[in-house]
Structure 1
């Protein structure tokens, strides 16, 4: 497949928007602060005349209420970030491909995605980088793809999908449904100055250094190993079987383990087995928890920013594999249930007191040695199952496929609901090539 760029421009808000600096929260400035790609494929049944003009015009109009996306980031003292709202605009690319949708098979992330997703040049100063990049690629045999790369320093998953949904509404000629607001005070100030003492009692292990392979002092060699991505589907029947297995030993006075807790536990066990961990190998699983409904009072709909907190479940690999699936699910539940209003506030207070946030930031994509939490012997399992990722209609009908762009972090995985709404689940997993075949075998064999 050959993809050639035909046009690139900056799209600015349709009317003048707010200018000045918008404070960022601690959650905006830690973890992944680079761009996160997603891609949609469409195969309209009618003419695509005016496609680019409609998308570009509606993008300009939706940037009025979502004006921070048209701004730029700047570094400040202590590896902190400032968001300057200056209407510089977002990058908009139009490309054409000599291939068709059929060339992409089941749409699993593949090398061709590299040409369908807008590239971010992290060699440039951060103040020159668009916070949102959009690429429209028309296929010679009909259809098109729409891919977006959104800075995670400005929006988490729920916020990014809020923006995409409202953009689609405007492209269809409909009014805004939920007005975004950007006041980071919505996350709440710390209740008292003593909350940071939680860290001295080990209750915030998400900020500790993750386990390494036994006998190693760093994970540099592990990061060098070649990875690949697989899209693995679980039918509703298979999901139900896993849930039944996990809940066989679930205490009668507690609620059953959820789909996420069960599937994440299954992935964790299969990864440890495929990686051939020693019995006493420490391993950690990163869980992304949305704090919006866990704050007191809950954050109202429309908050645009990062309100997710990464927490960590830990175990020895031998314990994961010698115990039933419910053990892994219980470790994950324990990590999730720690995320309360007080827990979130104490973490924010701790981060505010840090002289630098650098050690909490994933700068891997920027070419830094500071890589992600994931990687052998650890992994991360992020759930998109509750996010409205499907049915995004810009005026040409809903997508034929939606999914993540390429991601090359060993142990990075996403869990998505199946696109047909039939109870199936799709797991997008990146793993070292040498471990992927064994993982696939165990993934289905152990159900």
Structure 2
């Protein structure tokens, strides 16, 4: 069956869902790590089969009933995840803060004249963007639930990255699904910013100046000739467990001690970095490639205190750092994969300590209110840049609202920058395969499909067993 991208989506109804209990209006400051994020929206999509087909017990569960369950449980979830029911405004110092005023979440009901098995997930620019994942126009979070012609549903959410990272969004989705099934929350979210307060006096290593930079004031924009190769596009692939294992074995060649074994994600990232370098021609103006990886600091900030560990486990916000490496294109071409994997491991090691995150908090504090950002996103290099963010802990099997486990999911992050973004997630098959969302320059996607098609295979309904 041919996948469809030209289906129609009708927005039937939009209403505001607020927390079911009154929330005293208050200001929630963004942490220093939140302040490293510019205004960016991130989307996530979770797909479910027709519940009547999945289970006999759901035979009376119509779309309207599911929407009621979603709305009622969302209203409950916003009591504990109250920042998602607020809005971001500027404080007197010109910095963004969350006004927790329970203004609510815009919740849209929609219908798409397409079956789940017909959706072209491989090309999310056409099938997901603006169709199944909502554009957020108000507040911090927007939700859209779409009924498909086969009776399946797609739940799409878009949230402000300044308020939540993927870990926090996952925590929200799990809490929402637990309350939909009248279960107690397995993890209470915490907005206690004291976990990320700067030290007095502050201290940071000068190496942070190589990873983060103040955001420069943009010069007046001039009309530019659009180069088709500068277009950024999104694609979704799957990578089998065998291929991941093979890459890991290549990355660990000559690695005599298992203690220093390169991880699957490090090996995958090294392969992607080398693949992109090998596709750059000698006549190109690109001489180097930057490659970064997102590191979650929750476990890094732990100091052995049980209460602190518990708070950090439920911490709602951004606790991220993005270390990166920069290497010459020719060097990446010539060196074997295990050498590249060692480079990835080395720059990751920088961000794997408690002191790194404490220092980053202090680094931001020393520059406030001047905004700053990860340097890999700043267009000051002489070559392309790519960031890998791991979604390997995406809790898909826990996002069950009472009508079965999801059969497909993906984050969706079509941001406007030229730095590429890649997120591997566990496959719905549960067999060790990965689903990989890519948002890269058009020439990079074409290169990957030309030279690494044996690793990156387009997601199809066939692969997902939807046919």
TM-score by length of 2: 0.83
- Which residue pairs with 2:247 in the alignment? 242
What is the rounded CA distance, in whole Å, between the counterparts of 1:395 and 1:80 in structure 2? Answer: 41
Instruction: Give the 3 Å change call, closer, same or farther, for CA 82–173 of structure 1 in structure 2.
Output: same
Q: Is the 8 A contact 1:109 1:406 kept in 2?
A: no
- Unaligned stretches of 5+ in structure 2? 1-6, 53-60, 216-223, 457-467
User: Aligned match of 2:66 in 51, 69, 76?
Assistant: 51
Q: Is the 8 A contact 2:19 2:79 kept in 1?
A: yes
- Which residue pairs with 2:364 in the alignment? 351
What is the rounded CA distance, in whole Å, between the counterparts of 1:67 and 1:373 in structure 2? Answer: 38
Q: How far is the alpha carbon of 1:10 from its aligned partner?
A: 1.0
- Which residue pairs with 1:100 in the alignment? 115
When structure 1 is superposed on structure 2, of 42-51 and 345-354 the one drifting more is 42-51
Instruction: Give the 3 Å change call, closer, same or farther, for CA 222–332 of structure 1 in structure 2.
Output: farther
Instruction: Give the 3 Å change call, closer, same or farther, for CA 254–102 of structure 1 in structure 2.
Output: closer
The 5 Å alignment of 1:149-164 reads 149-164=158-173
Instruction: Give the 3 Å change call, closer, same or farther, for CA 137–107 of structure 1 in structure 2.
Output: farther
Q: Is the 8 A contact 1:18 1:67 kept in 2?
A: no
Q: How far is the alpha carbon of 1:191 from its aligned partner?
A: 6.4
The 5 Å alignment of 1:32-71 reads 32-46=38-52, 47-48=61-62, 49-71=64-86
SS in 1 for 2:72: helix
What is the rounded CA distance, in whole Å, between the counterparts of 1:323 and 1:269 in structure 2? Answer: 9
Alpha-carbon displacement from aligned partner over 1:335-364 (angstroms, at most 9, x marks no partner): 2211211111111111112144434289xx
Alpha-carbon displacement from aligned partner over 1:22-66 (angstroms, at most 9, x marks no partner): 121111121353221011111133242411111111100111111
Alpha-carbon displacement from aligned partner over 1:237-285 (angstroms, at most 9, x marks no partner): 1111111111003353742000110001111111222343669822211
SS in 1 for 2:290: strand
Q: Is the 8 A contact 1:67 1:87 kept in 2?
A: yes
Q: Is the 8 A contact 1:222 1:376 kept in 2?
A: no
- Which residue pairs with 2:100 in the alignment? 85
Instruction: Give the 3 Å change call, closer, same or farther, for CA 346–384 of structure 1 in structure 2.
Output: same
Q: How many residues align?
A: 421
SS in 2 for 1:150: strand
Quick check: 1:118 aligned with 2:134? yes
Instruction: Give the 3 Å change call, closer, same or farther, for CA 5–106 of structure 1 in structure 2.
Output: closer
Q: How far is the alpha carbon of 1:442 from its aligned partner?
A: 2.4
- Which residue pairs with 2:409 in the alignment? 402
Quick check: 1:433 aligned with 2:442? yes
Q: Is the 8 A contact 2:196 2:361 kept in 1?
A: no
What is the rounded CA distance, in whole Å, between the counterparts of 1:38 and 1:417 in structure 2? Answer: 14
Quick check: 1:393 aligned with 2:400? yes
- Which residue pairs with 2:279 in the alignment? 274
What is the rounded CA distance, in whole Å, between the counterparts of 1:223 and 1:434 in structure 2? Answer: 9
When structure 1 is superposed on structure 2, of 5-14 and 16-25 the one drifting more is 16-25
Q: How far is the alpha carbon of 1:82 from its aligned partner?
A: 1.1
The 5 Å alignment of 1:141-220 reads 141-190=150-199, 192-193=201-202, 195-196=203-204, 198-199=205-206, 202-208=207-213
RMSD: 2.9
Q: Is the 8 A contact 2:322 2:374 kept in 1?
A: no
SS in 1 for 2:274: helix
- Which residue pairs with 2:270 in the alignment? 265
Q: How far is the alpha carbon of 1:130 from its aligned partner?
A: 1.3
When structure 1 is superposed on structure 2, of 294-303 and 326-335 the one drifting more is 294-303
TM-score by length of 1: 0.86
User: Aligned match of 1:332 in 344, 369, 376?
Assistant: 344
SS in 1 for 2:45: strand
